[in-house]
Structure 1
Amino acid sequence: MEPEYLITSFIIVVSPGTGVVYTLATGLARGARAGIAAAFGCTIGIVPHLAAAIGGLAAVMHASATAFNALKILGVAYLIYMAWNTLREDGVLNIDGQSSGGTSHLRTATTAFLINILNPKLSIFFLAFLPQFIMPTEEDPLRRMLELGSIFMIMTFVVFAIYGLFAAAVRERVVSRPRILAWMRRSFAAAFVALGIKLAFAGR
């Protein structure tokens, strides 16, 4: 595996984005298992983008301003909703609602999945980035693209899980200090809004 691909992928994965913000917020609010569930959901959210790139759908979206903008608007709207939900006392950072049941974790993973699937820049990333590491002489480019995509997904899950576990580790300090919790709510909400604005002005 080319070190350039691994290094670039790691930088992209570790950089703060919507998935990172949600995973941190979830780990803080509901603990380690929920943080891992969020990491898993964000990772699964990559699959549709990879499939779109392989199937050529990403190329169509890249060429069509209407299709790209439609998905972008949905993504921005969802991020604004996440910001509002974070500020609510019973929202994303609801420390009291820390159910560890399967339904809660499924809901967490589903939300994380939606956050990533509504990010059109991921499809464009796979369309523009992965082909650079597929040689013209490659006998099976589809298999190669799946391998590269799988490595990216594994890296995403590991890094995001670490984010979630770290957030869970400092959770008790947040729970015991209402002022810090209020500050965290506002900070995460502001982060979602900032990411929404960044996505709104993103070009193809």
Structure 2
Amino acid sequence: MVPMNDLLLFGVAALVVVLTPGPNMIYLFSRSICQGRRAGVISLLGVMAGFLVHMLAAAIGLTALFMAIPLAYETLKWVGALYLLYLAWQAVRPGARSSFEAHRLEVDRPRKLFLMGFLTNLLNPKIAIFYLAIFPQFVSPEHGAVFLQSLVLGFTQIGVSFTVNLMIALSAAGIAAWFSRNPVWLAMQRYVMGFVLAGMAARLATEQRHVT
């Protein structure tokens, strides 16, 4: 099974990724402000359904394939590191917007809220690359069944994402009001996130893992 140290590190990676600017958080934050907490939570359930699709796709075949081929593993390691650097740049680049800046959205029915949350996550390139490039780095055949490891990691990521996004959906209005009164902290949030992402990219690029 996944060693506890690796699981904790993966949890940190999942937390950092969910806090970076991306379609999921921006959509949920904006939906909660424009249509209220209930709409935000319904949209969040759709997002979680999208995570299940990503996780199962990785658990069923992709992770096992990539871990079995050293060249593919090395390629994915560098793709993952470069993508984390890209996210870091997106956080600190001039003109970048924080995830905590809302967009105006029209009022939608519950069924459409769920569907939009699902599609927003299913088509989210940040999550797809996370599962294809970063997720496999924490799976190793020497720790047991790859499928079970993938499920443990996948549900850990889903749990972290659900907790963070639920807090955001329930307190979006208060968060938006606080950041509007404290714009300096809004900028600092982006730079801190960029620094953390760059550090994770460096660690991923330099980590050595035995692949059997």
> Does 1:10 find its partner at 2:2?
no
Query: 1:152: how far off?
Result: 0.5
Residues 1:133 and 1:32: Cα distance change in structure 2 (over 3 Å): same
Which stretch has the larger CA shift, 146-155 or 29-38?
Answer: 29-38
Runs of 4+ in 1 over 4 A off after TM superposition: 57-60, 168-171
Identical pairs, percent = 29
Contact 2:62–2:132 (8 Å) recurs in 1: no
1:164 alignment partner in structure 2: 169
Contact 2:47–2:118 (8 Å) recurs in 1: yes
TM-score normalised by structure 1 residue count: 0.58
> Conserved in 1, the CA contact under 8 Å of 2:59 and 2:146?
no
Q: Is the 8 A contact 1:23 1:35 kept in 2?
A: yes
| Residue pair 2:46, 2:113 contacting (<8 A) in 1 also | yes
TM-score calculated relative to the size of structure 2: 0.56
Quote the Cα distance in structure 1 between the aligned partners of 2:28 and 2:128: 21
Q: Is the 8 A contact 1:25 1:93 kept in 2?
A: no
Instruction: Name which of 32, 44, 56 aligns with 1:51.
Output: 56
What is the match of residue 116 of structure 2?
111
- Unpaired runs of 5+ residues, structure 2, are 67-71, 73-102, 181-212
The CA RMSD measured in Å over matched residues stands at 2.8
Kindly tell me: are residues 170 and 7 of structure 1, through their superposed partners in 2, closer, same or farther at Cα, counting changes over 3 Å?
closer
Q: How many residues align?
A: 137
Find out whether 1:152 has 2:157 as its counterpart. Answer: yes
Judge conservation of contact 2:22–2:126 (CA < 8 Å) in 1: no
Structure 1 residue runs without a partner (length 5+): 64-85, 98-103, 174-179, 181-204
- Report the counterpart of residue 148 of structure 2 in structure 1: 143
Measure how far apart 1:55 and its partner are: 3.2
Measured in 2, the distance between the counterparts of 1:30 and 1:168 equals: 11
Amino acid in the other structure paired with 2:61: G
Amino acid at match of 1:47: L
The change in CA–CA distance for 1:115 and 1:38 in structure 2 (over 3 A counts) is same
What is the match of residue 207 of structure 2? none
Q: What CA deviation, in whole Å up to 9, does each residue of 1:112-168 have, x standing for no partner? A: 110111124423321222222223312221111101000101111111111111124
Picking from 40, 55, 60, the partner of 1:35 is 40
In 1, the alpha carbon distance for the partners of 2:59 and 2:18 equals 20
